[in-house]
Structure 1
């Protein structure tokens, strides 16, 4: 399997099972092992892995479409699985030895993360000693490694302290089962506890280097355009794709529900009411606009990889904030339909309430917080320097 069409086709075969497991994912507070096994069977989790290690090396548009498709069945599964995929892209920009550490032992090994710089380190010969309670690690129950963030002084050319990433094996951290959330319940976004663990230099990479083509793995795979790209747009691509998939599923749910819904007190057929189909039309337009915005960015990013071109400040500001605006539109479209769906939509057995909750969670990530993004893009538009307090 090497193409998006084949992956989407294979996804369609397993989506009914994944959708049927949505309640199970919420009760487990993690993606069910059965879902992960099915995704492994179709090589979904190897979407961004280099072909040299048996991966698919999908383009960004192909990957994002697959994530949106999966999110329509179970957003929690799509959220966790998409991050397990994007970390393979990040690892493909690390050193060759780091990649051998992970995939040399197990070519199907996956990686979760806690990239916010919560880690505390001490410099030692050959690397760092790492400690920390590393939170927000989606899909960690199904990963054999984790990428963890910390602040470290840079190289001679850029000595100011900035964000770095440490690659840590599963044996060196404990998973703290503290994911008790009202949405994305099945993402298993738990905390990784690390205490005084040695991380060798070859498993450390600078965030700046990963964004500027200076990481040790940049260009290691000359026939693959995705490894001539900055890491962050690929890392963050799944968030908005999941939001889009939820919103498109809400359209399908509302349309089907309206065909048979009858008002309890009057017997009126809701689907024939003017407000119902007006809401449906507006939400559909809004979701179409979000998709168009995202698809343009996905294709622009993919083309830049083909050209071995790294994004400039203007492109990064737009891509960073366009995703958050697309998510904002998707959430608004879901809300418009949910608020007119009646009391039955609030039952825990109803798919709509899960779509509503999970939709809002897609807008809660630091990367998709539109209040932050408006500041980032607004400062950029008027020529102000980036505010370091904004992600």
Structure 2
């Protein structure tokens, strides 16, 4: 049962939103080949997500959103990723930025959603841009890679850049919300997996002015005056939605493997049929364990952080460091799960008309995302537990000299 947000709509519950996503899986499977061929999610799919309310999940209530906890979007993305990885990834990226607005100056929301509350924005937080401080804001220039769903983002894009002091020392990593007319799209998205995300590069050919209120630190974390949903660390929430998409991709492998293998009961010349083969049974069970464990870590992390946010407290550093690794290990575990089932799918798995290979290629590509860097993050946690300092610019801003 929803609660009335205003006179125009009713906010659905999380379970209802998840069921809407689950109901889309067969349809998403059917169109997944076309999404890859076009190298972009079609507007009709984005519109279906819009009609289902997915882009309102994290949008602040002041601009017509549901203002829900990020867990709701995580669970929806996990379902969508089962049917079409590129669609799940695109929803994750285009759907998480509404949460980001909840952490920023309200003027930003007024500027983006003042006339149309359905406008979307994309992003490329890679710190490859050049930011120059000027009166009232920043001058930004550069070229940024892999902005997923950028064709659908008429409201602009969040772009990343390092801020250096006069001596060239790192001071901050910031996101800048740039107007759509200030950059061009470069169609260079020719990749092995997630082929349909339309993750084009963005280029600012001349410097673009970004007012101070349209920029925020990605590193600095503090409690503000907005709703509890927006009182969690940026990295945890953003990394969590990427990892949720990856869980969906891996679960899609499991779905397809079971559908392919379960009917094969007949005995082979060299042993039992696949469904009765104990080695195949073990690999399926092991894969499901890895995926469920990754899923549980993601959801537990956001639930733990929400306890602090609901009390108006900063999530403690000890919790944040552990959760950072919990989320980033998703790619490793889910790719391992997908690969072990793909190996047991036999020769059929390598054909391009077999959906399982698309799910696996998507896992391969997603596991290379910066949010899935479990090696460095494991070292962060190990060093922290041994009393060593954390690297500056990851969890906190570097101390001024």
- Give the TM-score normalised by structure 2: 0.89
Aligned partner of 2:340 among 336, 340, 355 = 336
SS state of the match for residue 236, structure 1? helix
Cα distance change on mapping 1:307 and 1:252 into 2, 3 Å:
same
SS state of the match for residue 94, structure 1? coil
Partners of 2:185 and 2:269 lie apart in 1 by 51
Whether 2:40 is the aligned partner of 1:30: answer yes
Gap regions ≥5 residues in structure 1? none
Partners of 2:292 and 2:174 lie apart in 1 by 37
Whether 2:177 is the aligned partner of 1:167: answer yes
Residue by residue over 1:265-303, the C-alpha shift from the partner in whole angstroms, topping out at 9 and shown as x without a partner, is: 769522111211121122222222222222211211222
* Count of residues in correspondence between the two structures: 379
Partners of 1:335 and 1:43 lie apart in 2 by 33
Alignment match, 2:80: 70
CA drift of 1:48 comes to: 0.8
SS state of the match for residue 281, structure 1? helix
Partners of 1:273 and 1:175 lie apart in 2 by 50
Q: Which moved more, 1:117-126 or 1:104-113?
A: 117-126
CA drift of 1:92 comes to: 1.5
Aligned partner of 1:146 among 145, 148, 157 = 157
Alignment match, 1:120: 130
SS state of the match for residue 134, structure 1? strand
CA drift of 1:131 comes to: 0.8
Cα distance change on mapping 1:368 and 1:263 into 2, 3 Å:
farther
CA drift of 1:28 comes to: 1.4
Alignment match, 1:52: 62
Alignment match, 2:145: 135
RMSD: 2.1
Aligned partner of 2:119 among 103, 109, 113 = 109
Gap regions ≥5 residues in structure 2? 1-10, 396-401
Q: Which moved more, 1:258-267 or 1:34-43?
A: 258-267
Partners of 1:90 and 1:281 lie apart in 2 by 38
Alignment match, 2:7: none
Alignment match, 1:299: 303
Alignment match, 1:349: 353
Aligned partner of 1:258 among 258, 261, 268 = 261
Whether 2:213 is the aligned partner of 1:202: answer yes
Partners of 1:275 and 1:267 lie apart in 2 by 11
CA drift of 1:364 comes to: 0.9
SS state of the match for residue 362, structure 2? helix
CA drift of 1:326 comes to: 3.1
1:177-326 alignment runs, 5 A limit: 177-194=187-204, 195-209=206-220, 211-213=221-223, 218-220=224-226, 224-261=227-264, 269-326=273-330
